[in-house]
Amino acid sequence: MGDGGFSDAVWHRSSYSDNNGGQCVEVALVRGLAGLRDSKVSGGPVLVVGSGAWGAFVRAAIRREWEGGS
């Protein structure tokens, strides 16, 4: 499984992204892993992180922790 099991994954793009080739990241969840890729290079490399790490990132983003919280 050289592709990490993501070749048949269902990829999701942010609802904030447009379809004009902008800078966008897609994510797919497969067997407890989160794969991230550049939406403009769908056949390119996939960054794979554990689903726990992905969940922690999403929760931090929702809380805007990188801006010092609210």
Tens of pLDDT along the chain (70 residues)?
Answer: 356 688 889 999 877 776 665 678 899 999 899 999 988 888 889 999 999 999 999 999 888 877 655 5
Query: Is residue 26 in some structural domain?
Result: yes
Residue 43 maps to a domain: yes
Instruction: Determine phi and psi for 27, rounding to 5 degrees.
Output: -130, 145
Residue 5 included in any domain? no
At 1 the pLDDT is 38
pTM of the model: 0.75
Does residue 6 lie within any of the structural domains? Answer: no
What pLDDT sits at residue 59?
92
- Indicate whether 53 belongs to any domain: yes
- Assess contact for 9 and 35: CB atoms under 8 A: yes
Number of structural domains (the chain) is 1
In a domain, 56, yes or no: yes
By residue range, what is the domain housing residue 38?
Answer: 12-67
Q: Which residues of 20-54 are buried (b: 16+ CB within 10 A; e: fewer)?
A: eeeebebbbebeebbbbbebeeeeeebebeeeeeb
